[in-house]
């Protein structure tokens, strides 16, 4: 006869016990640090003088409002988002549609090869980009620009080169988003597509007016994933971007104050403002989602 304590019962106490690892982790690694960041943001905490911390009220926030870099950073972050997110979504929808076609040969291998760049370490991508764009020995000049009769590319650290790096690494990060879209496309019932065909819809019409509206939940999910990745968060796959190599300029600016200047107080202030911006963007997205995302349960 076993004791009653170890019997399986669906009660709240057992549930709490089971999720307690996450609850403790949440308190230790999320909640307390977030509150501590808020606390730091009201002080002049400097890493080199951890014993001399003074409460300075809203001084850091006043400083942030007067920081001339901030408007530029927000603008730069937004302008990155504006071209990267549509690029990623468009590419992953297009790829998913191609890879979903019954005409495709060697389907699993082709899908894997398109997915493969998503697991390449960022270090390898940075090295590849350095070599590929290298004016002397790289292939961009030799096999792409020169044969087209264009001028050779020389500015390895120019804005254009950085844009190419961000473009490559974001196009190479669409793997998970593409798989989610693919799964959503496979989930569309044949009856709906057949019905569209009977009504005279061609492949393009049925793609834009049946497939796309049906996969809006997947599009929304990928949108959130890609956005969080740009904001320096981690979802599903992380290739280990270095701090200086993040694609969000705002994120890089926080790193600068934290690791180069050791000014914890100001870095925490920046991080909190950044958190608020991210939360506002995500809440806005969720509030518009009711209008364009298709939820089958609601009908």
Binding of another protein by 76 (CB under 8 A): no
| Identified binder of another protein from the candidate list 37, 81, 188, 249, rule CB under 8 A | 37
| Identified binder of another protein from the candidate list 70, 210, 212, 282, rule CB under 8 A | 282
Output the CA torsion sign for 134, 136, 137, 142.
positive
- Retrieve residue 74's tokens: 């927000």
Binding of another protein by 14 (CB under 8 A): yes
| Identified binder of another protein from the candidate list 217, 256, 289, 294, rule CB under 8 A | 217
Which residues, 46 to 65, sit near another protein by CB under 8 A?
47, 50
Closest distance between another protein and the C-beta of residue 191, in Å?
A: 19
Q: What is the rounded CA–CA span in Å between residue 244 and residue 250?
A: 11
Which residue number, 75 or 123, has a Cβ lying nearer to another protein? 123
Which residues, 137 to 196, sit near another protein by CB under 8 A?
137-139, 142-143, 168, 171, 176, 179-180, 182-184, 186-187
Within 8 A by CB and 6+ apart from 216, the residues are 292, 293, 294
Closest distance between another protein and the C-beta of residue 90, in Å?
A: 14
Which residue number, 116 or 195, has a Cβ lying nearer to another protein? 116
Q: What is the rounded CA–CA span in Å between residue 237 and residue 234?
A: 7
Closest distance between another protein and the C-beta of residue 115, in Å?
A: 7
CA 197 to chain centre: 36
Which residues, 218 to 277, sit near another protein by CB under 8 A?
218, 221, 224, 228, 231-243, 251, 254-255, 258, 264, 267-268, 271-272, 274-275
Closest distance between another protein and the C-beta of residue 106, in Å?
A: 9
Q: Torsions phi, psi of 46, nearest 5?
A: -125, 135
Q: Per-residue x/- mask for another protein, residues 88 to 107, rule CB under 8 A? A: ----------xx-x-xxx--
Which residues, 119 to 148, sit near another protein by CB under 8 A?
119-124, 126-132, 134, 136-139, 142-143
Q: What is the DSSP string of 175-208?
A: HHHHHHHHHHHHHS-HHHHHHHHHTT--HHHHII
| Identified binder of another protein from the candidate list 112, 154, 158, 288, rule CB under 8 A | 112
Q: What is the rounded CA–CA span in Å between residue 241 and residue 229?
A: 10
Partnered with residue 55 across adjacent β-strands are 43
Instruction: Output the CA angle 298-221-268, nearest 5 degrees.
Output: 120
- Retrieve residue 284's tokens: 């806005």
Instruction: Output the CA angle 48-51-53, nearest 5 degrees.
Output: 90
| Identified binder of another protein from the candidate list 55, 68, 109, 296, rule CB under 8 A | 109
Closest distance between another protein and the C-beta of residue 89, in Å?
A: 15
């Amino acid at each position: 006869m076993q004791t009653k304590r170890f019997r399986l019962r669906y009660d709240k106490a057992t549930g709490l016990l089971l999720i307690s690892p996450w609850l403790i982790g949440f308190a230790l690694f999320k909640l307390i640090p977030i509150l501590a960041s808020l606390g730091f943001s009201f002080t002049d905490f400097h890493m080199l003088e951890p014993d001399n911390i003074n409460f300075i009220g809203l001084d850091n926030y006043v400083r942030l409002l007067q920081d001339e870099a901030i408007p530029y950073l927000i603008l730069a972050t937004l302008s990155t988002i504006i071209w990267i997110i549509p690029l990623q979504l468009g590419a992953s929808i297009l790829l998913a549609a191609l890879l979903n076609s019954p005409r495709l040969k060697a389907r699993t291998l082709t899908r894997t090869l398109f997915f493969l760049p998503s697991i390449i370490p960022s270090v390898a991508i940075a090295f590849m980009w350095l070599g590929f764009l290298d004016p002397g020995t790289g292939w961009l000049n030799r096999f792409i620009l020169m044969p087209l009769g264009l001028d050779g590319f020389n500015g390895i650290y120019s804005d254009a080169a950085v844009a190419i790096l961000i473009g490559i690494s974001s196009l190479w990060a669409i793997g998970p988003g593409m798989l989610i879209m693919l799964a959503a496309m496979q989930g569309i019932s044949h009856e709906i597509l057949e019905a569209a065909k009977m009504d005279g819809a061609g492949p393009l019409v049925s793609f834009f007016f049946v497939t796309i509206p049906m996969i809006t939940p997947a599009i929304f999910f990928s949108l959130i994933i890609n956005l969080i990745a740009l904001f320096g968060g981690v979802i599903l796959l992380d290739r280990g971007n270095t701090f200086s190599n993040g694609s969000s300029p705002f994120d890089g600016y926080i790193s600068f104050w934290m690791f180069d200047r050791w000014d914890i107080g100001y870095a925490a202030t920046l991080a909190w403002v950044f958190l608020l911006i991210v939360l506002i963007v995500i809440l806005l997205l969720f509030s518009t989602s009711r209008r364009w995302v298709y939820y089958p349960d609601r009908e």
